[in-house]
Structure formats: structure tokens, C-alpha cells
Structure 1
Amino acid sequence: MEVGIVQIMAGFGLQGVSDQQIYDEEVRQAVLADELGYEHVWVVEHHFEDYSFCPDNFVYLANIAARTKQIRLATGAVILPWNIQPLRVAEKAALLDTLSEGRLILGLGRGLSRREFGQFGVAMEESRERFDEMAPMILDALETGVMEEHHGRFFDQPRAPLQPRPFKSFRDRTAQVAMSSDSIDVAARLGVQMMSFFYKPNEVHRAEFDSYRATFQKQYGKAPKPPLLALMTVCDGDAARAKENAEKYCAVYFHSIVHHYEMMSDHFAKTKGYAEYGVGAEAMRAAGLEEMVKGYVNQQLWGTPDQILRKLEALRADIGDVGCLTAVRFGGSPYEVSERSLRLFAKEVLPVIREWGAPAAPRQAAE
């Protein structure tokens, strides 16, 4: 089972903590994750507010590359419509790959926050078309070392070589954040690994993963890597304390999601390319915020190591083979809480799940 960490880079919920301290502590945890044997560290791209702020994950990961030895370095994700030139994304990826001697995992996304699109002056309605034009340009350039001449709706690109060239092929180390049906289809057709945050009912995630696997198999004649699932994680030897911290910090984090993405607003239904999020927002309004918070908290990965292992076993039996990305710092959780989770998970959970093979076929929903 593939296991890494994802860094949210959030200040929301933290009182009296400077941006500098947040970054110092996140860097400290990334270095610790390398020492503890996690396979990769993922870092988001977000801008302008304390929900999450990492405006350039290439820069951050270059810093981590210089401080670590083995851990792979993943953009989770580069939001392509906010990075105006495909060529610059390819160049930065090639440079980081060279500096880290091939440790980069390139994760791509198209973005969801109306605020961030607005502040960049990029029309949210164009996100799908921009992503679909940019992604093949970038992936082809990283494979060949050259961004070929291109004339499309958004980009006119003369032929340009990448210098330095990527350290090695990106064919099996590219991923896409995919949480809507069109993004899932694109990820499969691009031939990249799917990555998702865990917030939908199990049966919905199962259907999405099955769709991804089927499309990938049809396109390439082989099975894809298992999708990666990111979960808010509280691992603690004290079951009561794990429950208390999870209920507190997962709830705060969910509130920050609702605020940042305006998840209960009706704007998604009016925005081209985001109809599924509009349906989700309507369902959230019908259920009410309090019920949504409870459901989200219960979904996440928390408890003693044994409880977490049982939850992961049940999850994989239900939705199929997945990799696990643990997020241990979120929702205003103090550094000591997140480091305790990181260490204990590595000591008592990681060795066990690394030995797991693929689970049996997921359970089918009752007819």
C-alpha cells in the first residue's frame, strides 16, 4: 500500500501563530516524514488566505529536496489555470526534478475556489478548457524534453527545449486531483494516477474509482496504479484523546473548506464546468451544516493504531485498492498533536499496511 503525507499549509484555527512559524513547523514535519519512512510528501497550491497558503509548491519542495534524502516530492497540485504559461510549469518541474535527482511527482489540478480565480483574473468558466489544453503540452514536454510548437484556444507556443531536461521519464510519476466525473475521465485518458480527498460517501468514491480504472484499462490496456486518497488523520495511543482531537480539528477544517470554497453557495450551479459541485452544494444546504460536519468527522482517519488499521481495512474492502495520504496538521491542531500522529502512524500503522496486498473486489451496493 502506497503511503505518504499531504501538507495543507493552513493557518485557519491557529491563534497567535505567525506564517513563519507555520512554515517552520511544516518543513520540520516534511523532514521528519523522510526520516520515518513515508514514501512521499504532497503539498497543495493555494493563495491569499489562511485556509491554505502555498503560492508556489515547486519552491517549497525545492527547499524540502535540499533537506531530505529519500522521500519523493509531490505537487498536490499545481493548479494549471492559475499558472498562465504551460512552458513555465514544465520548466519548473524539470528543474526541481534535476535538483532532487528524479524525486518529483507532478500532481496537476484545475482549481475550485472562485476567490482564487477572481484574484488571478482568470475566468473560472474557462478552467476545464485551459486544463485540457495545458496538461498534454506539459506532459509531452516533460517526456521529450521539448515543448513543441502549439496553436490552441488559449496558448500560442513556439517550439522550446527544456534546459535542464527532466532527470528521467515522468510517465509513471504524474498524478491529477480528480473529484468530479469529467476530471476523473481526463485523468484516466491522460494516463496519470488519480488523487482525491475523502469527503464523499463510500459508494460514490467506489463508483468514481471504478470509472477511472475502467477508462484507464480501456485506453491503455492495463490497470492503473491504485488511486490515492487523502484523509485527515489523528493517530494516538489514547483512544479518547484521539476522538476528542479529531472531533475538534476535523470540524474546524471542514468549516474552513466550506468558507474558502463557498461550498453551500449556489454559484457552482451557475458556473460552466462545475455542475456536479452545484448538485453537491444543494445537497449540503438540504442536509444542513451541522450534519455535514458530523459526517465529515466520522469519515476521517482517527483513533488508536489498531482502530486506524481496522478503518483502513474496511475502507479498502468497500472502495477497492487505494494509496493513503495522511494529513496530520489541519484545523488549528497544535504542532505536538500532529507530530504525535506522524510518529505513531509511522511506527505502528505503516509497517502493517505496507505488507497488505490488493484487497478482494469491492462490495457491490445492494440492488
Structure 2
Amino acid sequence: MRFSIYLNAQTRGPQEDVPIIETLTRQALEATAAGFHGVALTEHHFSGYNTYGDNFMFAAHLAPQTPAGTKFSLAVAVPPLHNPLRLAQKCNLLDVLTRGELIVGFAAGGSPVEYAGLGRDPGARHTDMMHNLEILEAALGKTLEDAPLEWATTFERGTLHTRIMPSGFHRPHPPFARATQSDSGAEWTGRKGWYLFTARETPAALADRWRVYEKSLRTSGLATGMVEERLDWSMVQKQVYLAETSAEAERDIRERLVLMADHQKRSFGLVSNIRDAEHMRSVVGVTPQKPDEFLSHAMIIGDPAAVREQIREYEAIGIRHMALLFNYGFMSTEVADRSLRLFLEEVLPEFATPRS
């Protein structure tokens, strides 16, 4: 089992932004120094759900400070929110800056505040994502000898006469992943030969999704070694909380879920034309507004022994990489640090594998 530390701390206002980013930086360096294999970073804007916003820039800042071989996973970039050629350029530049230790994941997102702020329509997010990905792949594949590439999205158009610069570190571009919470999405991802990123599901449901993905991946045309590497770094994301006792962990987290649910309702309610529960569920999957479901699907909590046992359940169904979120729900630095250090001291040694 490999672990990445997933950085996505929420902020309540400008007075918290700088301390949170400084804390996330320190926690990422502590985790990777202790044996975490990677760092996962996400993209959110304006809503307070992610303090740093730009995962490309934050990864570029962290990369030279982490141990050699640390893998960076962008989980995710949201193609409808980007100019596809600038997104292609950022993918390749970050691949160079991480010396090839990069997987760029894509998903449609859909937070109404984020789409509104960037002038996009969340109702068209899946169609726009697929179209923008086609442009991105075409641009990354273009050579100087090819004819100019004419492209157009819902919002922009252009002509690429030359090529995307720079090229990737030791390949045309970094490998890609798709984040999806459906079996049909997992099948598409395997067929493309991409990594699979997923979250907010029980081990039983993930076992079925993983079988769909692996079957599709093995028919994608990739060499056996590349198939195994995809399975090594495909990932399941979980929010984790450790305390001295499982009862204490559950009590603390149930209090935290009330704050998270309230923040989510306020964020979605800011855009008056997108407030329905179905849209929210399509974006976030399970929600802290249903705490029992959120606990069973999205979280791993308890004392160190209980957390080890829960991770073994995912390991048993073939999961080889988990991205774990320790700082969320407006936790104080002290609370997040205590949970992370319990994991580093009493859980991580049970799953230690060399960084490769």
C-alpha cells in the first residue's frame, strides 16, 4: 500500500489563508519525510473549500522540498475552467519541475460558486470536459511538422501553429487520470489507459469498480508492466481522523461534520439557480449533510488499530494507493497535527514500502 497526503484544507476567511497554506506545506513535508510516497492536490476556487486554489503552482512549490521520487497527483484539474492550451502547457511544465513524478487527473467539478466566478455553465460541465480534453490531447500531440491546429471551446477559439512548450520531462506529456464515481467512468478510464482516481465509496462498491477498471485496462493495449504501474498509482481518496480511542474520534468528527455541512449549504446556496439536491449529489457524491452515510463512505476514523483494520479492507480488494486527507473541516493546526502524527507513528509503519 502506498499513501499520498491529500491537501485540501478549508478556510473561513482571509485571516486564515496564510497560516493554513503554511501548515499544509509543513504537513506535506513531514508526511513525505516519514514515508508517504506522494502528495495529492486539488483545484477549487472562491468557495473556501480549498485555500490555495492553484494546485499546479502549489505542487511546483513543494516538489523541490520533498524527497526524491515523491509522486505528485493532481486530483484534480477541472478542464472546463481552463483554456485547454494553457492547461496543456501547465501539465508539461509541472512534469519538468517534478522530474517526471506527476500524474494529472481530470474531472468536471461542478461547484456553482466556482463555475459562476469563472464564467462557466456547470450544467454543461461533462460535455465541456470531454471536448476540452480532446483539444488538450490534440495540442499535446502536435509537432512542428503538422498543419496548424484549429480549436474552439464554448468560450474561446484559437490556432496552434507550432507546438506546446515545453515538452514533458521524458515523454511528450505526463500521464493522465480521470476522477470518477461511476463504473462507466472507470471503464472509460481503463480503455484510455489512464489512472483511476475515485473516492467516497465503501470497499464493497469499490471492489466492483476496480474490477471494471482493471478489466478495461488490461484490454487497452498497454504492456503488462504499464498496466501494473497504473494499478500501483490509481487511488482512492479518504478523509482520515485518528484519536486515542475510536469513541473520541467519532465524537470529534460528528461535530466537525456539522460545520462542513453548513459550509456546503452556504456555498451551493450562493448561486440561486443551482440549489437542488440532485445537482449537489452529482458534484460531491455523499454529503456531510447525511453524516452516517458520509462516515461510512468518505471517511476512515478511529484509534490507530481501527484505522489499520479499515485500510486493510481496501488493501484486500486490490487498492494499492490511498490519498489521505488529514486537515479539513476547519480543524485547528493542533488537531490536524495530532491526527497526522498518530498515523505516522502507529499506522504507517505497518504498511511501509520503499519509495520507487
**TM-score bucket of the superposed structures, by smaller chain:** 0.7 to 0.9
1:328 aligned to 2:353? no
Q: 1:1-367, aligned counterparts within 5 Å?
A: 1-12=1-12, 17-70=15-68, 71-83=70-82, 85-139=83-137, 149-151=148-150, 154=153, 155-169=157-171, 173-198=175-200, 200-220=201-221, 223=227, 224-225=230-231, 227-257=234-264, 259-261=266-268, 265-266=275-276, 268=278, 277=282, 292-299=290-297, 300-317=299-316, 319-354=317-352
Distance apart, 1:239 and its partner CA: 3.7
**Letter matched to residue 208 of structure 1:** R
Distance apart, 1:88 and its partner CA: 0.8
The alpha-carbon distance between structure 1 residues 140 and 36, as it changes in their structure 2 partners (threshold 3 A), is farther
Give ranges in structure 1 of 5+ residues lacking alignment.
356-367
Of residues 99-108 and 202-211 in structure 1, the stretch that sits farther from structure 2 once superposed is 202-211
Question: SS at 1:160's partner residue?
Answer: coil
State the number of aligned residues: 338
Output the CA distance in 2 between the equivalents of 1:158 and 1:143.
11
8 Å contact from structure 1 (residues 138, 147) kept in 2:
no
**Letter matched to residue 8 of structure 2:** I
Output the CA distance in 2 between the equivalents of 1:268 and 1:151.
37
The alpha-carbon distance between structure 1 residues 68 and 203, as it changes in their structure 2 partners (threshold 3 A), is closer
CA deviation map 1:267-309 (0-9, x unaligned): 746xxxx9x839x79xx8xxxx86x212212441112221111
Output the CA distance in 1 between the equivalents of 2:243 and 2:303.
5
Output the CA distance in 2 between the equivalents of 1:315 and 1:251.
27
Distance apart, 1:177 and its partner CA: 1.4
Give ranges in structure 2 of 5+ residues lacking alignment.
none
Of residues 73-82 and 213-222 in structure 1, the stretch that sits farther from structure 2 once superposed is 213-222
The alpha-carbon distance between structure 1 residues 298 and 254, as it changes in their structure 2 partners (threshold 3 A), is farther
TM-score (normalised: structure 2): 0.81
Output the CA distance in 2 between the equivalents of 1:53 and 1:46.
8
CA deviation map 1:138-162 (0-9, x unaligned): 3465577779644455254424323
Output the CA distance in 1 between the equivalents of 2:56 and 2:137.
16
8 Å contact from structure 2 (residues 9, 330) kept in 1:
no
**Letter matched to residue 72 of structure 2:** L
